[in-house]
Structure 1
Amino acid sequence: MSDAVLPHAASARYGLLGLPLAFVALPLYVMLPAHYAQLGVPLALLGLVLLGTRLFDAVIDPVLGRWVDARWSPPRALKAVAVAALALGAGFAALFFPAVQGTTALLMWCAVALTGTFMAFSLASVVHQAWGSRLGGSAVQRSRLVAWREGLGLVGVLLANVLATQAGLAVTTIVLWLSLALGVWALGKAPVPRKTWARAALLPADQSLALPWRGQAFRHLMALFMVNGIASAIPATLVLFFINDRVQAPSWAPVFLGAYFVMGAASVPLWLKLIKRMGPSNAWACGMALNVITFIGVLAIGAGDTGGYLSVCVASGLALGADLTVPGTLLTGVIQRAGHAGQSEGAYAGWWQLATKLNLALAAGLALPALQWWGYGPGARDPQALQALSWAYGALPCVFKLLALALWWRLWRRQNLE
């Protein structure tokens, strides 16, 4: 590929697979526990199965990235995505329509099906991200590819939310199959990464896995990505508690969440323009600053203040566009500057996916114990407990965002990296 910017239609063909990959996450993480609980599986045993499979899901990503690099070619990559899509669709159906009964059989079924589903999801995600990174190009082109991938991912989240709650699991499964097939077909019609000799295939496995971490720019970007990601994941972990107990408007939850995601998707073109005008790094800093200003306002939200909280959702959705478009853009730039373009994108993508999953785990590990320590519990109406919820939901993310801004200035901006 040259440095000429790909047209939007070509970028959209690449990005379309992001829709079903985001679509599948909501049912797997939100609906699956309740589904098996309704089938009579004890929550404690189910929790152990979910913990084990999710830990496996996290650590497998770098290994899959190494495997992708060692065997990379566009036809092989497309074949891997097609096989992963088939396994993902089959695993999803098996999980929500188990063919067994009884606690032990259901637990074993869930563990096996969920492990296979997670592996298929991780493989498809790593190949898809590596494909986009291998396309490379200028900051404008990189941001356009990431924007289509992540923007269509938001559409997938919204679609899954509507179908899973309104149309039922059967319709949700059929739509997932159709969107996976369409995504694989579109990737086959997408721009093909340039052909480069994959030196990663000649490296020992341990060296290939560690290769990204040898670059200072990657280590700095990962530190920034993790801190910023925790700041974004804390509100995601606590949002329903805040809506139910602080705003006390549970019926408004679909409106609040819909406004956030719709605004996030709608803001992507704006952030693309800002990236083109001021560069991805500066655009990301603007997004972080907007998030801080927005979440300071959370501290003033009280019971029944639906209008005020809706404004917070809209403003934070606007800032979400920066987090969607910039980090992946900078990651591809790091790969290019390190001289690993066309060689080790899978390894980079694997570690990136691992960091994304760790962000959610770390956010829950920080926010939930802090809330309990401060005296809050679900359903609380005590003023001190609710104030603790506001501080955890609003102030704690601001602390991490400000830390991310400091890291951006110290580790990234002063080096003038894009």
Structure 2
Amino acid sequence: MPTAPHHLIAYALPALPLAALVLPVYVFLPSAYAQVGLPLAGIGIILLLARLWDGVTDPLVGVLSDRTVTRFGRRKPWIAAGLPLTLISLWYLMVPGDGVGPAYLLCWSFMLFLGWTMMIVPLNAWGAELSGDYHQRTRIAGFREGASIIGTVLALTLPFAIGVGAAGQERDALRVLAICILVMLPLFTVIALVSVPEYKAPAKPPLKFRRGLKVIFANGAFRKLIAAYLINGMANGLPAQLFLFYVQHLLMEGERAGLLLLSYFMSGLITVPLWLWLSGKYGKHVVWRWAMMWNIAWFLTVPFLGPGDFTAFLIVCLMTGMSLGADLILPSAMQADVVDLDTARTGRARTGLYFAFWGLATKLATALAALGLTVAGLFGFDALTGGTDTGKTALLTLYALAPVALKIVAIAILWRWPIDAATQAALRARIAART
């Protein structure tokens, strides 16, 4: 399959606006809907229901895209079908009129997440199938996840750049981002669909659903990777959920939180080539473990920081941001290798279903991490005032130390990873022999 830089750029382009879509939905949308009269508790419940809806749609889209047979391929028709649904629903969701109710938010949230799933699950599966080469897959994931980081940075900075990023301007920020995504997403998607060919899977009858699930969960590499991925996702999700509260109430630097966030994401973007080079030299699983160890070392300094330590924490953000690229790129590339193990055993390319499970693991990790604020609250932390000293200690523990413990567990799970470059090459030879 062609994997020249211009093909990889074209393939990765849709990931940029799709990532830019996620941040405003979770950051700006609750406040925007509160401004039109919906209670925050109701907004939270509706967004939780939307996450549960993903638990249905992710595996469904994965299975159906694996079984789709058209002259355009398996993945492209789903991405194309998801595009108009995503565009329509993102406008209605992100630009609500005055007086909308809970049913409006519920309907358009469900529609947006369905459209997003119809695009992102096949897009990830498509990338895993672009190449069977162990190291080339890392490059493919690197281009896609690099585009995702750029999209996140764009969504974070654009409202501030044009003067609508302050508290109380969430509706204006959502409108600006919606217009931007409405322009970029169709343009970038069409470029990808037209420019990049798709792998054509051998025509074989699909496995029965129960039999297929049994094979998946008998895949030891799958169990190891999804466990490590979930636990590391929780380790990343906790500080993400608690970051603003830590900066405001423990570091006392709430006004400069945006600068700290930007430094984190920019560091992650800049260091993507470093992780690609290291993984090519030492292997994906080894370098991912190193990245988690690097993150642990810097997070262990956070309990010693306090008011007035802005510069020191800025350095922590820059250093931990470096590992962001590794956390996004390397597991995704390893997932493609895990699918090879399944394909070698079954003779079927079930990439869509596997990447649907990875998507569910990502969302589950985020949902579990969201409980961090609830736990801190049980110990006396208050999101508005900071609460008691015990509550602040609980916040610090959940922000800085719990992620360290979780990453140590993830590293231990990956310590005897069974698929290196030689093993993966042997799997590809077995797959080739069966086709």
The reply to whether TM is greater than 0.5 is yes
Hey, what's the Cα distance between the residues in 2 that align with 1:45 and 1:32?
A: 13
Aligned to 1:163: 158
From 305, 312, 319, the equivalent of 1:315 is 319
Hey, what's the Cα distance between the residues in 1 that align with 2:130 and 2:152?
A: 26
Distance 1:415 1:268, change over 3 A: closer
From 91, 94, 104, the equivalent of 2:92 is 94
Alignment check: 8 A CA contact 1:217 1:334 kept: yes
Hey, what's the Cα distance between the residues in 2 that align with 1:284 and 1:355?
A: 18
Hey, what's the Cα distance between the residues in 1 that align with 2:421 and 2:76?
A: 37
Bigger drift between 392-401 and 70-79 goes to 70-79
Aligned to 2:368: 362
Aligned to 1:224: 228
Cα RMSD (Å): 2.3
Structure 1 position 107 matched with structure 2 position 107: no
Distance 1:40 1:390, change over 3 A: same
Hey, what's the Cα distance between the residues in 1 that align with 2:250 and 2:69?
A: 50
Alignment check: 8 A CA contact 1:139 1:279 kept: no
Structure 1 position 194 matched with structure 2 position 191: no
Aligned to 1:400: 406
Aligned to 1:25: 22
1:117-166, Cα deviation, whole Å (9 max, x unpaired)? 10000110101001011113222210111011111101101111123444
Aligned to 2:124: 129
Structure 2 matches for 1:18-417, cutoff 5 A? 18-73=15-70, 74-75=72-73, 77-98=75-96, 102=99, 106-165=101-160, 166=163, 168-199=173-204, 202-208=206-212, 211-339=215-343, 343-365=349-371, 367-378=372-383, 379-380=385-386, 382-410=388-416
- Cα displacement (A) at 1:224: 1.1
- Cα displacement (A) at 1:374: 3.3
SS in structure 2 of the partner of residue 174 of structure 1: helix
1:65-107, Cα deviation, whole Å (9 max, x unpaired)? 00111105544532321221221111011113335x54xx521
From 9, 12, 15, the equivalent of 1:15 is 12
Hey, what's the Cα distance between the residues in 1 that align with 2:42 and 2:391?
A: 31
- Cα displacement (A) at 1:392: 1.6
SS in structure 1 of the partner of residue 75 of structure 2: helix
- Cα displacement (A) at 1:396: 0.7
Distance 1:47 1:364, change over 3 A: closer
Distance 1:30 1:407, change over 3 A: same
1:262-286, Cα deviation, whole Å (9 max, x unpaired)? 0001110000000111011111011
Hey, what's the Cα distance between the residues in 1 that align with 2:348 and 2:10?
A: 20
- Cα displacement (A) at 1:240: 0.5
Aligned to 2:433: none
For structure 2, list consecutive stretches of 5 or more residues without a partner in the other structure.
Answer: 165-172, 425-435
1:172-203, Cα deviation, whole Å (9 max, x unpaired)? 2221012111221221244323322243x533
Bigger drift between 170-179 and 301-310 goes to 170-179
Distance 1:279 1:26, change over 3 A: same
For structure 1, list consecutive stretches of 5 or more residues without a partner in the other structure.
Answer: none
- Cα displacement (A) at 1:252: 0.8
- Cα displacement (A) at 1:64: 1.0
Normalising by structure 2, what TM-score?
0.88
Hey, what's the Cα distance between the residues in 1 that align with 2:374 and 2:92?
A: 34
Aligned to 2:430: none
Alignment check: 8 A CA contact 1:23 1:153 kept: yes
Alignment check: 8 A CA contact 1:198 1:343 kept: no
The one-letter code matched in structure 1 to 2:263 is: A
Normalising by structure 1, what TM-score?
0.92
Hey, what's the Cα distance between the residues in 1 that align with 2:236 and 2:307?
A: 23
Identity in percent: 31
Alignment check: 8 A CA contact 2:381 2:387 kept: no
Hey, what's the Cα distance between the residues in 1 that align with 2:277 and 2:367?
A: 33
1:304-358, Cα deviation, whole Å (9 max, x unpaired)? 2100110110011111121011001100011113226872111011111000000
Bigger drift between 161-170 and 296-305 goes to 161-170
Alignment check: 8 A CA contact 1:58 1:358 kept: no
